[in-house]
Structure 1
Amino acid sequence: MNQYPKGLPCALRDGYGFESVNNISRTPMESGRARQRIIFDSVPTLVPLAWICSERQALLFEAWAAQVARAGWFLIPLKIPGGMKNVEVRFTKTPSGPELVGVNSWRYTAQCELRERPLLEPGWAELMPEWVLMMNIVDLAVNREWPKA
């Protein structure tokens, strides 16, 4: 699988956020209430990405997007709930740019589709929600009590 090149900048925070396609079907009833059901378990999640590159980074980004990533899936480090992680994404259309920013920097933007929405493994939210909320306390305690383990 293609990897986002090391040496290129991480995606900017400006406008960054995940948006999933709606997977709930809603049918209004005569009583005024509505019936709802899940149509699909897995639906596309989109994320707008933007980068500011130096001149050399811009040369590499454009060539990599056009010649390597193209319309296929690639791994890119993204901030998700839980920290930075390599996530599989693909461009939904050709990245926009370059747009001159400041004196010598170039801005690129792209809409990307995630292969899988970053979620906890099944069971954690239902069976052990307090473990999820207290993960950092357990980690701190283990590292303090058994630092060499």
Structure 2
Amino acid sequence: MNKITQVVLATVVLSFGLGSTAVYANQTAGKPGSQTPHKPGKHGCGDKCDGKIDIVLEVPRHCDLDVETPQLTLAQTTGGNWSDAGFFNVSTNAPYRLNINAPNNLRSGQNSVPVSVTTTRGGRAYSGAQSSTKGQAHRWDVAATVAGSAIAAADAGTYRGTYNVEVRF
């Protein structure tokens, strides 16, 4: 019986020893405390071990619109027309477009007179997309003119209109 006891005891010790070794091997191959073995990533395991980390910075679009002339008061010029000019500045960090809504008429109650409004930059009329200013301002000139003949036919009153500008990305 002594031999049978020794064989049983040896089997139990051997089984316990191998079982604990298997658990220990699994724990060291994965993360500490993990029961799963190491699994190769996208780059696998072997003699080539490299990878990458992408670094991303997103800079949001930004715009400053400064209306430097908040009102144009038309006055008679030497040519007989009535006009005035002003300007606004746009500073952006991305290409942009101007959404301009200029009046075609100035109104006083039920009366109106036609007005011509132009928007220019560097002497050229606005025509569409503009480049980024990278912190420096683009100056936009706005001029309003009413023909002298329209004034001669107009009733007395204060005629008004609104020029709206919006910077769009």
Which TM-score applies when normalising by structure 1? 0.31
Structure with larger Rg? 2
Which TM-score applies when normalising by structure 2? 0.28
